[in-house]
Structure 1
């Protein structure tokens, strides 16, 4: 479809809770394609619908490590295990990173882009991405949770 503008921190849309997707219709499929086009136009690993101005519970994660990209519709984290600090960045707050306390492992459920129920158990970077993008769907950006924010220095 199209590369969309990524909303930046301060835009009120990023603070709003998204709505459930009730059917996998043409609009939802177009949204998924817009997420793909926009994410792959840059260098991030995840993008949630509200970041491109759409208040629907959909996100895309692609760790760009050879693993399959993940599209989740109406995701819900059903289990959190342990706690650990992680370093996160966000396409909606470029040039900065922060330290965020996240679970060590999560179980997340939702539907894939074919409308099939899926469940993922994740740790490491994938777990961080699931938590980060799920927060976006609840109107939360990582800087709301960060214990420290710092500017990333160019090398």
Structure 2
């Protein structure tokens, strides 16, 4: 496993529609392992193949302590309900944060690294992260969905307020 360089905006690879994965081999496993290691090293919760310069339909979401990362190969959104607006950032846009509206409850169909299919339902933050990474696979940047930009200072203040509320519970 190795840490790869994160592709930063502006780079056309980030706006490229990715190719469907048809070969499930050691090269794909290495890409997934490298992406996960790169994401962890960069303090991210998700990463998509274009963010490491690969234009294939592969993405990972991992923020659930003690659980396996969600590896999504050729993911498809098969159900979506409700919407919620929350703040997002992106490893390819360091220091940029904004409010983005996304579906609050989703179901996806995707493939494992061995090619087998699975389905996964997600809500809230997990659903948001999955949709963000799936957008990358279609060349859609989160900045195209931002309804209001948020400064680092505003974000830090929101985090402090949220932590205060959690302490009071």
Instruction: State whether TM-score is above 0.5.
Output: yes
Root-mean-square deviation (Å):
1.4
How many residue pairs were aligned? 155
Q: Report the counterpart of residue 74 of structure 1 in structure 2.
A: 74
| Larger helix percent | 2
Q: TM-score, normalised by structure 2?
A: 0.87
Shift of 1:98: 0.8
Are the counterparts in 1 of residues 25 and 114 from structure 2 also a CA contact under 8 Å?
no
**Counterpart residue number, 2:97:** 97
Runs ≥4 residues deviating over 4 A: none
Note the C-alpha offset of 1:64: 4.1
TM-score, L = length of structure 1: 0.94
State the 1:30 CA deviation: 1.5
Q: Give the stretch that moved more between structures: 51-60 or 141-150.
A: 141-150
CA distance in 2, matches of 1:149, 1:135: 19
Question: SS of the counterpart of 1:84?
Answer: strand
1:8 aligns with 2:23: no
Structure 1 residues 108-131: Cα deviation after superposition (integer angstroms, max 9, x where no partner): 110122322111111011100110
SS in 2 for 1:82: strand
Please say if residues 2 and 37 of structure 2, whose CA atoms lie closer than 8 Å, have aligned partners that are also in contact: yes
1:26, distance to aligned residue in structure 2 (A): 2.1
Structure 1 unaligned residues grouped into runs of 5+: none
**Secondary structure at the residue paired with 1:34?**
helix
Offset at residue 65 of structure 1 (A): 2.7
Look up the SS of the partner of 1:94 in the other structure: coil
